[in-house]
Amino acid sequence: MSRELSDKRLPLSALGHKPQHLVGHIDAASLEQAVAMMAHAPQPAQVDVTAQRDQGKLSVQGRVSIVAPLVCSRCLCEFDQSLEVSVSRQFVSGDDPVAESAGEVRMEDETTYLKDDVFVLRRMVDEELVLAIPPAPLCREACAGICPGCGVNLNDEACVCRDEVEDGPFAALKNLRLTGQ
């Protein structure tokens, strides 16, 4: 049985320089943003990361995985997709100097600033999973979707209304009679 890590917090000021290997799971109920993008609550996310403080920064590297129940954007069927996320993040205590100024955002600096000096593992995992979920999930690349006329899943059966659909924006042109021909 894996270790529950949903409440794992690491205060940056109290961390030494010895790496902390965090292996276990985070319950789906703790992953609010990622679960909101899924069809229903998944099994817990598996976490295998190493956190180490070096030169005032907390470096977190490793892997996060979950089997995400998603809804296909074409046929609206539920399917499971395995998400494997490679994590490499930097955290530092304090306020983000870029957010407080009117200057440009420096894209090369991927440091996350922690206002309360505490790294919360589930927040990072939730963010990483949100970024890993495809914006338009597909059950398979060749998904045919649903018929706009009758709503039948074209992956499962053939549509009989294809020629009968006449409610499109150009349906009125079918009755147009041109004179002079």
- What is residue 123's predicted lDDT score, i.e. its pLDDT? 92
pTM for the structure as a whole: 0.79
CA 68 to chain centre: 9
Low-confidence ranges of the chain (pLDDT < 50): 102-108
The CA-atom distances, in angstroms, between 57 and each of 13, 36, 85, 124 are 10, 31, 22, 15
- What is residue 18's predicted lDDT score, i.e. its pLDDT? 87
Instruction: Centre a 10 Å sphere on the Cβ of residue 127 and count the other Cβ atoms it contains.
Output: 17
**Residues 76-107: pLDDT tens digits?**
999 999 999 999 999 888 776 666 554 444 43
- What is residue 13's predicted lDDT score, i.e. its pLDDT? 77
- What is residue 27's predicted lDDT score, i.e. its pLDDT? 94
Between CA 84 and CA 53 the distance in angstroms is 25
The CA-atom distances, in angstroms, between 149 and each of 71, 153, 168 are 21, 11, 10
- What is residue 110's predicted lDDT score, i.e. its pLDDT? 76
What is the DSSP secondary-structure string of the chain?
Answer: -PPB-TT-EEEGGG--SS-EEEEEEE-GGG-HHHHHTSSS--SPEEEEEEEEEETTEEEEEEEEEEEEEEE-TTT--EEEEEEEEEEEEEEEES--HHHHSSS---TT--EEEETTSEEEHHHHHHHHHHHHS-SS--SSTT---B-TTT--BTTTS--S-GGG---STTGGGGG---TT-
Question: Sign of dihedral through CA atoms 60, 66, 69, 74?
Answer: positive
- What is residue 166's predicted lDDT score, i.e. its pLDDT? 61
